[in-house]
Amino acid sequence: MPAPPPPDFSGLSLAEIAKAAEEQRLPPVESWNPAHCGDSDMRIARDGRWYHQGGMIQRPEMVRLFSTILRREPDGRFVLVTPVEKLDIAVEDAPFVAIELKTEARGSAGRLAFRLNTGDIVVAGPKHPLRVEAREDGPHPYLQVRRGLDALIARPLYYELAALALENESSPPGVWSDGAFFRLEPAE
């Protein structure tokens, strides 16, 4: 069964976005434990594009479908898993990229909803925290999506979050979403 098309993020209220995010049904990959079968010859690039045997996967529906069977193993590897097989997949940074942000309210009443490159919608909060990692090339902001899978927050969205943090005038700088406060500077 093909993955449903992503909702029109710009035309939805934040309440509708939150409801859609809660209703996303995913296969129970955490309960599937088939024998390891090898390598998928697939890769997710830093920019969120998916590749198979060196060629970019052009169909967004295929990417969405594969993203629903992605799992992170306890040893940190990423796999595509079904009830009958488990295949390694290379991930250069994070398996998803947050590409769109919608905000509601400010301060401690704020809510932040993100649309991912796969069409998934995630509302930041206690179950989906934000974090920032320090790297040589600057800060790398992430959103926890599900089951140990993260989304790299695209640089323009990080700048939007930074502007919200400046409005908050909090120390340390950060943003609120669903009652949780998230620092926008790397943890020391």
pLDDT at site 1: 44
Please state, in angstroms and as integers, the Cα–Cα distance from residue 36 to each residue in 26, 49, 81, 86, 169, following that order.
Answer: 21, 25, 9, 5, 50
- Residue ranges, comma separated, of all CATH 2.30.270.10 domains in the chain are 96-183
Residue 70 confidence (pLDDT) above 80: yes
How are beta strands 149-153 and 138-146 bridged, if at all? antiparallel
Closest CA to 30 of 74, 65, 64: 74
Residue 55 parent element (H or E):
strand 55-56
pTM of the model: 0.85
- Residue ranges, comma separated, of all CATH 3.10.540.10 domains in the chain are 25-91
Angle at 76 between CA 73 and CA 77, to 5 degrees: 70
pLDDT at site 26: 79
Tell me the mean pLDDT in the region 118-124.
Answer: 93
pLDDT at site 38: 93
Cα 131 from Cα 161, distance rounded (Å)? 12
Q: What is the mean pLDDT of the chain?
A: 88
Task: Read off the pLDDT of residues 30-53 as tens digits, 9 standing for 90 and up.
Answer: 889 998 889 999 999 999 999 999
Please state, in angstroms and as integers, the Cα–Cα distance from residue 156 to each residue in 21, 98, 130, following that order.
Answer: 22, 10, 16
Q: What percent of the chain is predicted at pLDDT more than 90? A: 69
Is the torsion defined by CA of 165, 168, 172, 174 positive or negative?
negative
75 Cβ neighbours under 8 A, 6+ residues apart: none
Residue 16 confidence (pLDDT) above 80: no
**Looking at the domain covering 25-91, what would its CATH class be?**
alpha beta
Task: Read off the pLDDT of residues 131-187 as tens digits, 9 standing for 90 and up.
Answer: 999 999 889 999 999 988 999 999 999 999 999 999 988 889 999 999 999 999 887
Architecture of the domain whose range is 96-183: Roll (2.30)
Angle at 22 between CA 44 and CA 107, to 5 degrees: 90
